[in-house]
Structure 1
Amino acid sequence: MKIFTVSDITRAVKEVLEAEFPFVWIKGQVTNLSRPASGHIYFTLTDGDAGINVVWFKGNQKQAQSRDGEGVNPLTGEVESGGPLVLEDGMEILCAGHINVYPPRGVYQLIAELIQEQGVGDLRLAFEAMKKKLAERGYFDEDRKMELPHSPKKVAVVTAATGAAVRDFLRIADERGTGAQIRIYPSLVQGERAPERIAAAIDSACDDGWAEVLVLIRGGGSLEDLWAFNTETVADALFRATIPVVCGVGHEVDVTIADYVADRRVATPSHAAQQLWPRREVLMQAVDELEYNLAKAFRSFVEVRQSRFDILKKGLMWLSPVQRIERLQAAFDVETERLGRAAGLNLDLKEAELERQKERLSRTFGPRHVKSMSSEIKGLEKRLSRAMEHYLQRRESGLESLAESLRLLDPEKPLERGYSLVTVEKSGTFLRDPQEVRNGDGVRIRVRSGEVRARVEEGE
């Protein structure tokens, strides 16, 4: 028994295939198209049941023709004039080339030499039809889409539980934000049963009411591989979702129906995590900026309050009773000093004036004049004294005459001579006329040595 090495068996297969298929025509649909910077084009040619990798080198691309031109005659291989062909996923093409085995990966592939467009593939037609149908139903309307929460704490992820997509998502999530809980809702993401499973997982995540946002992710693949995300079943589940949905399916060039329906479309599963959580460096920088702004605002606040405090302090000091008393005391001291100076000056002026008057008096009334005036004053004093004595004697004599007149006018004097005074008891007035009393009225009769009471009785 012969044992082959990997290189031996690969080389043998390569020789057989390349010898058996030196030049072939293959018809199929373009999927998983890739255009690297080298200018070569790589894609998969599929008919729905099988696929073959195709390499279209840059040097051979100038021979390609589109349907708008006359194209390549598939029977003769003759290249005819026409416009350049631009490949797109979903195109139906006719490839001419030879089979090649690529030893490093042990795969066979078609090296394309001639390519002619045959039409738009069935999957692309189905995609455009579904897109038009859902657009008419309002599934893509921007006004129905929800805003994503900022840095969510609870995130539901619908994806294959063991796929590379979820590992990339979790790795990025672990490096960003401030920490969050992530709950995986596992689902098939490829195959006939995938749409129902994806829709069920979306419904379950919404019904739980736990998550703030839902993330639908899957790694890259061909158009057939991603077809579950182009189905109406998944679109309906996304449309009725009650929480915001982020869709990160395939690579940046891959666009699915789910991307249009979701609230936010991102390029890759890793990009989904980047959209949900900011980088920690950015957060730390934001914290530093906030700290700086807070310190700046606090300093400004303190400076404003300090300035206000100083103004109020000055105002309070000005209005303070102690300060007022001190100001009044200072003003009082100033006025006292001024008054003292004014009083001293006034006293000096008065003393000077007094001296001047004394001098004038001395000049006007000398010793001789004063002596003469003194003698005159003494004579006047004697005359005034004699006049006062005569005046008092006359007044005393008149006073005695008035006293005698008063004694004669005393109403009680007649009582000594036997007369009496009668007063009406009721009114207290002297009785002068009998008509002033009536029968039974009381009267008082005053005589020299006392008083007698009586009652009036009228005779017949």
Structure 2
Amino acid sequence: MGMTVLTVGEVTKYIKQTFVSDPILNNVYVKGEVSNYIKHTSGHMYFTLKDKTSKLKCVMFSNRNRLINFSISNGMKVIVGGYISVYERDGIYQLYAEEIQPDGIGSLYLAFEELKQKLEKEGLFKPEHKKKIPALPRNIGLVTSTTGAAVRDFLTVVKRRFPGVNIYLVPVLVQGVQASEQISNAIDTLNRYSNIDLIVLTRGGGSIEELWAFNEERVARSIFSSKIPIVSAVGHERDFTIADFVADLRAPTPSAAGELVVPVKRELEVKINTLLRQLNFQIGRKIISNKEKLSYLKKRLYSRPEDFIYQKQQEIDNITKDLFRNLKSLLERKNSLFMRLVEKMEALSPLKVLSRGYSITRKYNDKTIIKDIKALKKGEILETLLYKGQILSQIIKLEEGRTEYGN
């Protein structure tokens, strides 16, 4: 009595909605051992995560797993990020994987993702905050270690491309406990110098542990607060750090940074010389054209200056003549229209009717025009208007009937 009976599908949908509305299950990281791994012909990956007590089915669709840069196999310990939901057909819950990493970097990877999401929500990665990189920086602040290939690669490329650029090297540790503090302080220090046009952060490639200084929040905050544009060139092309996301420009390698921040001096000189030649040519053409116009005007003005005045006077006479001719024509058209209107008004005038032998009879006292004998009574005084003069009369007799016209 009074029981609510649900279908299997309704129960499954309710459970799925419960999963969807749970904020923890919508963004969760799970670590475990891979088993029952299958990569379908569609490209989708199916596997199970297990530990000593439980198992969790997982699916990772092809649009997500194509970004994985390592091979997955049974027995591998991994950390999988994604969301938990229900596969309605089978009524089972599973982890829909969006990212996966080997468990060897577990704690660092989780810290990286946590900080990345935090800073992204705050807007530190938004394009509208990116500062424009100067086309030709004269003074570049270089924040890196004095040892290693990165500094040599960057300096070699910059000096080869544009020898006149000044490089101010601020030596820092690029890995280890004190590295993030030194990098942050170096950025803040360079911002106190007004002559620095650009800052470049760089170091060579390495593991996530070795690059970790560039994933620290204090470094990210210093990059974002910098009034000077910053280029991040950390690690190899496939390495990404928090600094890369916050910086105004990311270079895949230190050498690539050198190519991005300065042009090739010789190419720039050739381009400038070409533009100068084009500019001089256009200026020359303009000067010659204006000289020819000036010479022509001088000849006209100084040979017979009165001709210019005479021409203008003649133009005024012609304009005046046209004006009076148009005015006369307009007056004639208006006068003709006026006369036609007068004729129409005269044809409708009561006097015109009276001139043809007709008269108008009206009551003498209130001037009401008589149209029907029923409006009159015996003895009443009438006034009859003729073309010339008027008659006063008194009604002696009234006779009804329609008036017949004729001789």
Q: Given the two structures, how large is their TM-score scaled by the length of structure 2?
A: 0.50
Q: In the TM superposition, what is the alpha-carbon distance from 1:117 to its structure 2 partner? A: 8.0
Q: Could you say which residue in structure 2 is the equivalent of 1:335?
A: none
What CA distance in whole angstroms lies between the structure 1 residues aligned with 2:221 and 2:238? 24
Asked if 1:283 is matched to 2:268, the reply is yes
1:266 is aligned with what amino acid? A
Q: In the TM superposition, what is the alpha-carbon distance from 1:71 to its structure 2 partner? A: 9.8
Q: In the TM superposition, what is the alpha-carbon distance from 1:296 to its structure 2 partner? A: 2.0
Q: In the TM superposition, what is the alpha-carbon distance from 1:196 to its structure 2 partner? A: 1.0
Q: How does 1:54-453 map onto structure 2 within 5 Å?
A: 68-69=46-47, 88=68, 121-177=106-162, 179-319=164-304
What is the CA deviation profile of residues 38-72 of structure 1, one whole-angstrom value per residue up to 9, with x for unaligned ones?
A: xxxxxxxxxxxxxxxxxxxxxxx99xx99723699
Q: In the TM superposition, what is the alpha-carbon distance from 1:225 to its structure 2 partner? A: 1.5
Cα distance, 1:66–1:311 mapped onto 2, change above 3 Å: closer
Classify the secondary structure of the residue corresponding to 2:191.
helix
2:279 is aligned with what amino acid? L
What is the CA deviation profile of residues 12-34 of structure 1, one whole-angstrom value per residue up to 9, with x for unaligned ones?
A: xxxxxxxxxxxxxxxxxxxxxxx
1:213 is aligned with what amino acid? L
What CA distance in whole angstroms lies between the structure 1 residues aligned with 2:305 and 2:111? 90
Classify the secondary structure of the residue corresponding to 2:168.
strand
CA RMSD of aligned residues (A): 3.6
Q: In the TM superposition, what is the alpha-carbon distance from 1:202 to its structure 2 partner? A: 1.1
* Structure 2 residues without counterparts, runs of 5 or longer: 1-38, 51-59, 77-99, 309-407
Q: Could you say which residue in structure 1 is the equivalent of 2:86?
A: none
For the Cα contact (< 8 Å) 1:188–1:197, is it kept in 2?
yes
Q: Could you say which residue in structure 2 is the equivalent of 1:370?
A: none
What is the CA deviation profile of residues 124-150 of structure 1, one whole-angstrom value per residue up to 9, with x for unaligned ones?
A: 222111100111222112222221222
Classify the secondary structure of the residue corresponding to 1:224.
coil
Q: In the TM superposition, what is the alpha-carbon distance from 1:173 to its structure 2 partner? A: 1.0
2:147 is aligned with what amino acid? T
Cα distance, 1:95–1:222 mapped onto 2, change above 3 Å: farther
Q: In the TM superposition, what is the alpha-carbon distance from 1:299 to its structure 2 partner? A: 2.6
Q: Could you say which residue in structure 2 is the equivalent of 1:33?
A: none
Classify the secondary structure of the residue corresponding to 2:47.
coil
* Structure 1 residues without counterparts, runs of 5 or longer: 1-60, 73-81, 97-115, 325-460
What is the CA deviation profile of residues 190-241 of structure 1, one whole-angstrom value per residue up to 9, with x for unaligned ones?
A: 1122111111111111123331111111111222221111111211211221
Larger-Rg structure: 1
What CA distance in whole angstroms lies between the structure 2 residues aligned with 1:83 and 1:148? 38
Q: Given the two structures, how large is their TM-score scaled by the length of structure 1?
A: 0.45
Q: In the TM superposition, what is the alpha-carbon distance from 1:93 to its structure 2 partner? A: 6.9
Matched length: 233
Moved over 4 A (4+): 82-87, 89-96, 116-120
